[in-house]
Amino acid sequence: MVNGVFARVAERYDLMNDLMSGGLHRLWKDDLVTLVNPPKAARPFRLIDVAGGTGDVAERVLRRGGAGTSAVLCDISPEMLGVGRKRFEATGLDARATFAIGNAEALPFPARSFDAYTIAFGIRNVTRIDKALAEAHRVLKTGGRFLCLEFSACTVPLLDRVYDFHSFEVIPRLGGWAAGDAASYQYLVESIRKFPEQEPFAQMIREAGFARVSYRNLTGGIAAIHWGWKL
């Protein structure tokens, strides 16, 4: 079902992110990439960006890192990856990027393959979050870092009411107008409300084996970045 949702909205996905967040998702992703902190030097640094279809996070990491930084974009949706391929071909970064169709719960990569794992606005669409976290831990090298950007629980009074109205009344209408698919965006909004709040999700990351787990709220908790280390 999730694959079908993203197949329908792939071509308008980045546009809808701008419309839904008023462009805030760009600032949130910049914060995520700052935490990834890819090395400027030419030493090898390998990122896996899961649910990374359209490539906007991986592109930021490659631009921030040095010549040794490379990225694997892994997504369950061939249509989303197709959009990502076009982005990288247009920017000339395709030589440092590879693309793989794969499920976050069973990644098609050997253990200890990556220096960093990112997933932005994707983990709430995973059927078994615990399995996805276990896979993240498996594919990271010792000393590697897991980073997740996801919608979360708004912690600011009044802002939470505005956010609820925007989510349930505005976003599905935007989806119908800009992407021709109100139903898919209704699902995406509902998936946000079912996702664990900040501290319960942090505990799930700890239970997957990660150490020094923490998180940072963005825009009053509308989104949050969680991270942990494989030690």
Predicted local confidence at residue 6, as pLDDT:
59
Note whether 82 and 106 are within 8 A (CB). no
- Is the confidence at residue 27, as pLDDT, over 90? yes
CATH number (3.30.479.30, 3.30.1360.70, 1.10.390.10, 3.40.50.150) of 2-229 reads 3.40.50.150
Stretch 14-43: mean pLDDT: 85
Q: What DSSP designation does 41 have? A: S
- Is the confidence at residue 48, as pLDDT, over 80? yes
Structure tokens at 60: 């930021």
| 154 against 192, higher pLDDT | 154
Cα gap 170→186, rounded to integer Å: 10
Q: For 96, what's the count of Cα atoms within 13 Å in the CB-facing half-sphere?
A: 23
Query: Which residues in 161-186 are b (16+ Cβ under 10 Å) and which e?
Result: eebeebbeeebbebbeebbebeebbb
- Is the confidence at residue 169, as pLDDT, over 70? no
Q: pLDDT tens for residues 3-13? A: 665 556 556 56
**Residue ranges per domain, the chain?**
2-229
Residue 107, C-beta contacts closer than 8 angstroms, at least 6 positions apart = 48, 50, 74, 135, 138, 139
Quick one: pLDDT band at residue 28, thresholds 50, 70, 90?
very high
User: What element of type H or E holds 174?
Assistant: helix 171-174
pLDDT more than 70, % of the chain:
80
Concatenate the DSSP letters of all residues of 53-99 into one string.
TT-HHHHHHHHHS-TTEEEEEEES-HHHHHHHHHHHHHHT-GGGEEE
What's the whole-number average pLDDT of the chain? Answer: 87
Q: What is the pTM of this model?
A: 0.87
Predicted local confidence at residue 130, as pLDDT:
98
Q: pLDDT tens for residues 176-227? A: 655 566 666 666 777 777 889 999 999 999 999 999 999 999 999 999 999 9
Residue 100 phi/psi, 5-degree rounding, is: -140, 130
Stretch 25-48: mean pLDDT: 94
